[in-house]
């Protein structure tokens, strides 16, 4: 199998694709260089679950913008169906979709990105890609057609990925509302004996907190 025929992998580069959208032609990921973007596929226009997702993505769009993150939708419908659906959402929900929606009638982009599961039909499933400003795939999620996505979780993951990238840390389960650590972040474990000694000294000085030398955490302010 050729490399270009394989679905991209987490931590790899997002493949270069030219797409037609409701806002004109775009080149991914090049047109979003320097920004994060969330690319999400949906099974089809004029379907109830997808409609609720698009309304909520748009309603929370300013929060994504504040995180230097753009939104891009995709389905196998053509651009005219997308535009008509946008009108329908505007007229019935009083919400105007302002982010681009990719028209992928032949399914070439969806197939390249692993967004179609033959076991679930010929439409795109609810795939989510989160891409960083360097065009690297930082997250991949797949939901079945019958379950709508949690937009708050997608926002949470974008925030967590950005914090991890900026501060070279990891985030615990349910961050920033972890039951034990709250909004504190986890420091990567030391890789050698000398680093262990330094880590324990930092803990003595109160710069960080440790349960053990391999389990240390801190507030982002420190």
For the annotated catalytic residues, the residue numbers are 50
Closest CA to 42 of 73, 81, 86: 73
**What is the phi-psi region of residue 125: left when phi exceeds 0, alpha when psi lies from -120 to 50, beta otherwise?**
beta
The DSSP symbol for 31 reads: G
> How far apart are alpha carbons 157 and 160 in whole angstroms?
5
Neighbours of 195 (CB within 10 A): 13
Q: Which two tokens stand for residue 60?
A: 């929370």
Q: Enumerate the β-bridge partners of residue 165.
A: none
CA distance 194 to 166: 25
Phi/psi zone of residue 8: left (φ > 0), alpha (ψ -120 to 50 degrees), beta?
Answer: beta
């Amino acid at each position: 199998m050729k490399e270009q025929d394989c679905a991209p992998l987490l931590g790899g580069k997002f493949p270069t694709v030219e797409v037609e959208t409701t806002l004109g032609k775009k080149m991914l990921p090049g047109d979003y260089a320097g920004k994060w973007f969330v690319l999400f596929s949906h099974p089809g226009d004029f379907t109830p679950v997808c409609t609720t997702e698009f309304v909520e993505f748009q309603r929370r769009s300013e929060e994504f913008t504040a995180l230097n993150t753009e939104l891009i939708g995709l389905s196998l419908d053509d651009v005219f169906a997308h535009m008509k659906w946008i009108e329908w959402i505007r007229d019935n929900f009083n919400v105007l979709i302002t982010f681009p929606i990719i028209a992928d009638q032949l399914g070439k982009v969806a197939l390249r990105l692993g967004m179609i599961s033959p076991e679930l039909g010929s439409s795109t499933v609810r795939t989510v890609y989160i891409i960083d400003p360097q065009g690297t795939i930082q997250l991949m999620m797949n939901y079945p057609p019958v379950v709508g996505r949690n937009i708050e979780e997608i926002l949470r993951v974008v925030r967590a990925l950005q914090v991890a990238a900026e501060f070279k840390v990891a985030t615990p389960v349910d961050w920033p509302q972890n039951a034990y650590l709250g909004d504190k972040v986890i420091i990567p474990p030391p890789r050698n004996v000398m680093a262990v000694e330094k880590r324990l000294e930092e803990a003595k000085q109160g710069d960080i907190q440790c349960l053990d030398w391999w389990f240390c955490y801190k507030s982002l302010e420190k």
